[in-house]
Structure 1
Amino acid sequence: MPQVRSRETLWRTLQTFNITRIAIAVVLLAYLSINARQGFWLYEGFLYRETCAAYLMLALGFAITSAWHKRQLLLQLSAGIVADLMLITILYVAAGGARSGLAILYLFPLAGSAVLAPMMLALFFTALVALAMLLESAYQLLNFPSDSTISQAGLYGAAFFAAVYVLNRLAARLIRQEQLATEHRAGLQVQQAINQLVIADMGDGVLVAGRDTTIFTVNPAAERMLGLAGAEGAHRDRLDNVAWLAPIAEAYFSWRRNAAGAAPAFVVLKPAEGATVHLRLRFASIGTAGDANERVVVFLQNVSEIEDRAQELKLASMGRLTASIAHEVRNPLSAIGHAGSLLGEDATDPVQLRLVHIINENVGRLNRMIEDILRLSRKAQPGSAPLGLDAVLPEIVEEFRDMHALRPGLIHLGTLDAGQVLFDPLHLREVIVNLLSNAMRYASGRDASIRLFVVTDAAHRRELHVQDDGAAITPEVRAHLFEPFYTTSSKGTGLGLYLARELCMNNGAMLDYEYRSDAWNQTPAEASGRFVITLATPET
């Protein structure tokens, strides 16, 4: 392939050379016709117009031949240069030799031979020119000794040799550089084709964005994840201009602020059409930071699928243990709890009382774990009915306050949508109680440190947010938050959040932990974490 491209370049150069020959022939014919006068030619009556016209015809012939018959390049080049040298020599001699100034015309064919012909052939043509000029000067010196000198012809010859040598070396270097560039180009084209094939078929999403979040490239997997399939205009839009892609834009700007040690980000997308998607984002910059041409590659991984597969594996093993736990563990555990209670009645020593307390606390923890497992094993699809959140949520919050003896201002119930949602009342109560219990572990305890409120997203879906003013869950913990038996609390069983999500899914809703930007005693607003339940409505 490089040799073919080099040949094409040489033929293009030859065609340019032939076109230049035509231009020179036209200029010579016009100039010599306009400036002809008595005594201009060495021999009176010399047919200079006819000579220039013949040169023009030959130039046209060479140009047509090189355009239609791309064979034997060196032969066509040599024939053209020989014709140039012959006709220029005729004009040069007829015009009076070196004093006529036509010696400069030799530079055109010699330069062409230096660029297109091998070094030896180019120097051969140069030697012929130098010999012709020296012979003509010698003739003039013999016949007109007072008006002639041979030094001017010698200088022209030396200059021509130097020019031909330099041009030949430069041309050879350029041809080698072109061959190298062609080889690299071919390799890059193959690599680009491989990259496009791999990126198009890979399961993870790849998105390329500019510094202002303009979307440049999206592979098919990313189109499916982001809900951009079939949206041609969105490919040149910006992330922060597409409503449901705002979480990615927020994660992108957060990454830019903390690029030195930024960890992968987790976001939840709710496209206008399609299911909710939980994504793990990883950012990589290409180009100089701050440059207008800088690009950021965003790698997207659908974490929901990974979480579901992990939970299925855990549930498969847990299901096999459920029956044996109910019979083999629960009965002995009840006996241990009863024995601990009896010991507590007679114990008076503080050390004994502490040991009894430890027994009872751990028995209660194991009982809660068994209850959660049994509830998971016997959960059934509920008969969801329309439910008004503005009527149910205040009752659940008030009951939770009374159960835990909380002061009224600790839990703030924000704006509630008067519309109806599809959710089993008992299941909703269990989910809210679970989330409020989780929030109590991390909230500061100040007034309104726990909030519940309902918002409507860009796709007009109702969302119930449960948020506390404690530190947000880290992305590393978030990746395992809804896995069964995963807990960061010494008093937790690791099944509460998993059970809450399963109950939401049974009611056509989706529970997730999201990072949203809003004001929570912060100026300016920053991204904060909260549990978000995306609810199903009767109209959907």
Structure 2
Amino acid sequence: MSTAEAPNRLPESSLRILRVYSYYRFVLSALLLAMFAGGISRDIFGSSDPRLFFHTAIAYCLLSAFSLVRVWWGSQTARTEQVFATIVVDLLFISLLTYSSGGTSSGLGYLFFITVITASLFIQGQIHYALAALASIFLLTSELLISPIDQRNVFSAGAIGALLFLVSGIFQNVSLRLHLSERAALEQAAHARYLEQLTHRIVARLYTGIVVVNKNNEVEIINQSAKLLLNYESDLPELPFSLDQLPDLQEHLKQWQEKPQNTAQIIQFHNNPQELRIGFVQQGEDTLIFIDDNRQIHNQAQQLKLASLGRLTASIAHEIRNPLGALSHANQLLQESPEIHEADKRLTEIIDSHCLRVNGIIESVLQMSRRRAANAKAVELNQWCNEFCKRYSSENGAYISTHSLANDLNSACDPHQMDQVLSNLVDNGVRYSEEHSGNAKVELVLDREKETQRPIIDIIDSGPGIPEKERSKVFEPFYTTHHAGSGLGLFLVKELCEANQVSIFIKESRPGHNCIRLRFPDPEALLQ
């Protein structure tokens, strides 16, 4: 791209060679001037015209020093035209030094080779032959001016000129190959940088958290998902930083290094209540850490499970509901029969009750199998709960109160699905409160959890509470402690909560009493 934008500019590799050549010019001119001034090899240097040699060496040294200063201060203009002019000036100075020293017999004529070779490395195309021709002309002119009748020196100068053409062509070919190799290397480097940037973008947008730790226990890469999952979104320094900044992760990495495992671990960090699935992979000297939200993985598995369940329940609905409908209809006809005894009417009532119960179980299973994905929306929980309580109280006649301990409890969830959750939980609370105390009263307490700062809703009733030994079973399917229950209500509640990334668990509200707590996610959790 740089070649297309500035065709007369030299590439970086040629610029480095030009800097070396600038040092060479200065050292050469200074060395020739010092040897001449010190009287070294006076019979060679300046033997034909000492005055011309001295002044030429001084001028060449000053010019070389000026060029070197420009290179030293970084102001060297790497343009082909200026390099061409520099080469022409060098050829002129070398020819004057050779002429003043008696021609090719002084050996200074061989300095033309270095200048011509340098020109062939910098200047592309046929123009480098012009410089070789110019060097040959300068050399032959010097010999003819010194001794026009000495054919031996003229032949020597002509031979050197022919070699200059040959060397110029050879090094031009070498330079062309070097430039092509450099261009290919630059293209590969640019492509590698593009792939690196592309990889970083892909890693940054992955839902899986990725952390790369080097051999010095430093974090080299951490994507946005990893920061969110580890709850360190804005508290981390710039990369690379010590793994000490993530103490929980560092501790589990040490444990894995002491006892490597191929399977992922389910971990819950101190600063984050959600379960994380973490896997470690050794890649050379680096360690790759993959972090996933275990609830999302569970939700995906649950979706597959429910998809299979949906196909199964479709068959169940067809195979069971039709006979059940026939049984219920026959029981109804039997109840209307004038010949039935009073004692048998009680039996028909039992049959009718259990038909309704089985039908309710089928409806619950079908509802789970048809569950749609959560359509998350931003929700302010105080407003949402107040509207729910008004609607529930007007429809069911029960007294439902709300008590908010925090403002601006914003979250993200599917309001329709969470309405189902809250209705089911409040139904249970109302039923058990009425059976236990005769008062159908349920209270919803809204607050922000101290440990996680997440919005929470506690559903508190005046029922007998859930015994400790039964708390781990209440969310299992078909588990119930009520004679009329199907055992699917709380299981459906848990499924809907997991679909919305809402944590549900039983918590002690006061000594001897417990409540159901819903912990809601941050607003961004489902809206991404």
Which TM bucket (shorter chain)? 0.5 to 0.7
In the alignment, structure 1 residue 206 sits paired with structure 2 residue 210 = yes
Q: C-alpha separation between the residues in 1 aligned to 2:253 and 2:325?
A: 47
**In the TM superposition, what is the alpha-carbon distance from 1:115 to its structure 2 partner?**
1.0
Match of 2:273 in 1: 275
1:49 to 50, 54, 60: 54
Q: Is the 8 A contact 2:94 2:111 kept in 1?
A: yes
1:178 to 176, 182, 190: 182
Question: After superposition, what is the alpha-carbon deviation per residue over 1:67-92, rounded to whole angstroms, capped at 9, x for unaligned?
Answer: 76848x34322322222122211211
Does the residue aligned with 2:10 lie in a helix, a strand or coil? Answer: helix
Q: C-alpha separation between the residues in 2 aligned to 1:44 and 1:139?
A: 12
**In the TM superposition, what is the alpha-carbon distance from 1:275 to its structure 2 partner?**
1.5
Change (3 A) 1:274 1:62: closer
Change (3 A) 1:210 1:508: farther
In the alignment, structure 1 residue 7 sits paired with structure 2 residue 5 = no
Match of 1:514 in 2: none
Q: Is the 8 A contact 2:92 2:138 kept in 1?
A: no
**In the TM superposition, what is the alpha-carbon distance from 1:36 to its structure 2 partner?**
5.3
Q: Is the 8 A contact 1:207 1:222 kept in 2?
A: yes
Q: C-alpha separation between the residues in 2 aligned to 1:212 and 1:36?
A: 59
Q: Is the 8 A contact 2:32 2:57 kept in 1?
A: yes
Percent identity (aligned): 18
Q: Is the 8 A contact 1:212 1:238 kept in 2?
A: no
Match of 1:79 in 2: 85
Does the residue aligned with 1:300 lie in a helix, a strand or coil? Answer: strand
2:231 to 223, 227, 233: 227
Match of 2:27 in 1: 23
Does the residue aligned with 2:213 lie in a helix, a strand or coil? Answer: strand
1:118 to 107, 121, 124: 124
Does the residue aligned with 1:7 lie in a helix, a strand or coil? Answer: coil
Q: C-alpha separation between the residues in 1 aligned to 2:275 and 2:257?
A: 17
2:296 to 284, 298, 305: 305
Q: C-alpha separation between the residues in 2 aligned to 1:45 and 1:23?
A: 20
**In the TM superposition, what is the alpha-carbon distance from 1:169 to its structure 2 partner?**
2.0
Cα RMSD of the aligned pairs, angstroms, is 5.5
Q: C-alpha separation between the residues in 1 aligned to 2:215 and 2:324?
A: 59
Change (3 A) 1:204 1:165: same
Match of 2:95 in 1: 89
Match of 1:103 in 2: 109
Match of 1:429 in 2: 469
**In the TM superposition, what is the alpha-carbon distance from 1:184 to its structure 2 partner?**
3.1
Q: TM-score normalised to the size of structure 2?
A: 0.52
Q: C-alpha separation between the residues in 1 aligned to 2:123 and 2:236?
A: 53
**In the TM superposition, what is the alpha-carbon distance from 1:113 to its structure 2 partner?**
0.8
Change (3 A) 1:278 1:118: closer
**In the TM superposition, what is the alpha-carbon distance from 1:39 to its structure 2 partner?**
4.7
Could you tell me which amino acid in structure 2 is paired with residue 507 of structure 1? I
Q: C-alpha separation between the residues in 2 aligned to 1:45 and 1:248?
A: 79
Q: C-alpha separation between the residues in 1 aligned to 2:95 and 2:220?
A: 62
Could you tell me which amino acid in structure 1 is paired with residue 200 of structure 2? Q
Q: Is the 8 A contact 1:213 1:240 kept in 2?
A: no
Structure 2, unaligned stretches of length 5 or more? 331-353, 366-420, 431-463, 479-485, 498-502, 509-515, 518-528
Q: C-alpha separation between the residues in 2 aligned to 1:499 and 1:130?
A: 97
Q: C-alpha separation between the residues in 1 aligned to 2:132 and 2:140?
A: 12
Q: Is the 8 A contact 2:212 2:221 kept in 1?
A: yes
Does the residue aligned with 1:505 lie in a helix, a strand or coil? Answer: strand
> Equivalences for 1:286-305 in 2 at 5 Å?
291-292=284-285, 295-305=286-296
Change (3 A) 1:36 1:267: closer
Change (3 A) 1:311 1:235: farther
Farther off after superposition, 207-216 or 193-202: 207-216
Could you tell me which amino acid in structure 1 is paired with residue 108 of structure 2? L
